[in-house]
Amino acid sequence: MQSLSQSNQRRISHNVILLILSAMMVLPGCSLGVMIGKMFFDDPKMKSVFREATGTDLTDGETTILVACSTSHQILSKHPGVRIDIVDKMSRILDTRNVKLVSPDDVATWFDDHGEWGDFSELANSFDADYVMHIDLKTFSVEVPDSPNLLQGKAEGRVAIMELKMSGKNKDKKKASTVVERSFKVMFPTTYPIPRESRSEEMFTENFLDRISSQLARMLYDHRPSEIEL
């Protein structure tokens, strides 16, 4: 019986190795890592950037965060709705995770009235937010240089997350202090550009914004590796 059990164990180990080797032949690196993680560890959740830095779980619905996005006039001249679209798409994702978010419409109205974000303390106090996430979109394009018939999205920027606490001098006013600073880069598709005839530029841009928004939103809640787009 003991020899039979050992034989079975060897057979199982052999089959597992064959399965992994087969996967390596057909899947890219990220896909393979996700698959193996699910197979051996039941796809465990990864701590979000936010929770790693603050120890706070935003999905408990007790902490309020405000998301703001800014970019250059050059980007806005080609894509006037990009700031609003990113925040709106993020808000829909975060709502499904029970994250308590200040209304993007109210934030946009505040910006229209003030014309600039300032140091975010006044903004956060206006909405009694506990944290502010500021997205600084530095580059955004959907066209391939010197190839007008191809589409590929590329975006880069920087994220700062600030905690709002009551200041020593002003007990009724919160002051912002940075707890996270991180750059981000998104390419869509990640492999190679697609021809324009396969998708309209409007639809492609919408899909690209979905990708950016989901990547940024995942900074705020714990997620499984399998949720990350490959």
In order of 58, 83, 144, 201, 228, the CA distances from 151 in angstroms are: 36, 21, 6, 8, 22
Q: What is the mean pLDDT of residues 11-21?
A: 51
Q: What would the mean pLDDT of 81-95 be, rounded to a whole number?
A: 97
pLDDT, position 31: 47
Looking at residue 28, what is its pLDDT? 45
What is the helix (H) or strand (E) element at residue 66, kind and residue range? strand 64-71
d(CA 87, CA 213): 7
119 vs 192, which has greater pLDDT?
192
CB atoms within 10 A of CB 155: 24
Q: How confident is the model at residue 29 (pLDDT cuts 50, 70, 90)?
A: very low
Residues 39-52: pLDDT tens digits?
Answer: 444 557 899 999 99
pLDDT of residue 169: 66
Residue in the structure block whose two tokens are 């990113």: 86
Confidence (pLDDT) at 98? 96
Cα 141 to Cα 78: distance, rounded to the nearest angstrom: 9
Neighbours of 82 (CB within 10 A): 20
Query: How far, in Å, are 49, 95, 114, 140 from residue 136 at the CA level?
Result: 17, 22, 18, 11
| pLDDT of 211 higher than 60 | yes
**Comparing 23-27, 90-94, 130-134, 219-223, which segment has the lowest mean pLDDT?**
23-27
Give the confidence band of 14 by pLDDT, cuts at 50, 70, 90. Answer: low
Tokens 């690209």 — which residue? Answer: 208
Q: 174-213 burial by CB neighbour count: b if 16+ within 10 A, else e?
A: bbbeeebeeebebebeeeebeebeeeeeeebbeebbbbbb
Report pLDDT for 43.
Answer: 58
* High-pLDDT (> 70) share of the chain, %: 77
Residue 25 has what pLDDT?
42
| Residue 104: partners with Cβ closer than 8 Å, 6 or more residues away | 67, 84, 87, 88, 91
230 pLDDT more than 60? no
Average pLDDT over residues 212-217: 97
Rounded Cα distance between 30 and 227, Å, is 12
Cβ atoms < 10 Å from Cβ of 112: 8
C-alpha to C-alpha distance for 165 and 177, rounded to whole angstroms: 8
pLDDT of residue 42: 57
Mind listing the pLDDT tens digit for each residue in 151-205?
999 999 999 999 998 776 666 788 889 999 999 999 999 999 999 999 999 999 9
Question: What's the pTM?
Answer: 0.79
Dihedral sign of CA atoms 110, 160, 144, 86 in order: negative
pLDDT at 228 over 70: no
Residue 227 has pLDDT above 60, yes or no: yes
